Copies of this chain bind each other. A is one copy, B any other.
């Protein structure tokens, strides 16, 4: 069984219910989530040995978050307690032609204030096959970026494969550095990168190019700089999302190995129960697929996992391998 380590922030998510706007809410749905945790839960659901690394505050909220890690059989042995507060994000769920809206309240969180030499990465990566991080963590603070680099370097030195979900969030990156100043170095160690070309270019300090994702030759040229920048890069992948409106989307996915383009089926996704975490569901499906399946099946699996996430409330993709595979081969009526 493959061992996959993910590292990032685990937040309290407080979401409006029943299509309410923030000003109407008299209660908020409480779950816990965060991109890298979401990936770890997906992998544990698929039967892999997933380990999640983070720091949580030593109060009732941090302990409640830890319970959610445990419930999914994600290994929590290297989660530390410390810092002042749990990161929070407020989600106003959109509907139809009204977009969802997020208010981040994660400054000075337990993870944002963590410093290097806190986590024991040598032990964490023992027997690990894969390390996953995302562009959200170095966006939190200089120290979070430093710790991310620290982790990546140890992983690399121990022969662990490294994946990154670029995940650019314009409301973060408030600590004075631009994404390209920070991400360029971090990305160089990647085995797999998830993200569209323009985001990758932006993080490498290059200009936007508005690529045509259906043109294989064009993509080969456009992805070339990434393969050059990241000497270990095996794959780049991205979901292709066409938002008709908040409740109605069309979703596919592509995987590119530098030479060959693997394209999944595209799905009509309507209506959308909860779109947050669907990128993480794609990432989780992709890591599973690249570890257990041929490339074409891997991108099929990642895309179907992403699609299913849209039907499940909360950040987490509560689906099994069977359920994802069933979707790649057809839908279904009530099971009875």
Contact = CB atoms under 8 A, between A and B. Distances in A.
Most chain B CB within a 10 A radius of its CB, from A100, A103, A169: A103
A67 B23 contact: yes
Q: Could you say how many copies of this chain the assembly holds?
A: 6
**Size band of the interface chain A makes with B:** 35 or more
A163 to B, nearest CB: 22
B22 A95 contact: no
Interface stretch (A126-134, A214-222, A307-315): A307-315
Contact of A64 (B14, B22, B70): B22
A245 B331 contact: yes
A108 B327 CA distance: 34
A88 B270 CA distance: 31
Interface in A84-124: 84-86, 88-90, 92, 94-105, 107-108
Interface-central residue, A90, A96, A267, by most chain B CB under 10 Å: A96
Interface string A210-239: 000000000000000000000000000000
Contacts of A96: 269-273, 310-311
A73 B79 CA distance: 14
Interface string A1-32: 00000000000001001111111111111110
Which 5 A-B residue pairs are closest in the complex by CB-CB distance?
Answer: A71-B71, A102-B336, A98-B311, A99-B332, A100-B334
B22 A60 contact: yes
Given A22-B61, A72-B70, A105-B85, A100 B27 contact: no
Nearest to A101: B335
13 contacts: A22-B60, A23-B67, A26-B26, A26-B30, A59-B103, A61-B90, A84-B107, A85-B107, A96-B311, A97-B307, A97-B308, A241-B333, A246-B331
Interface in A33-87: 59-61, 63-64, 67-68, 70-73, 84-86
Contact of A100 (B84, B90, B104, B335): B335
Contacts of A332: 99, 243
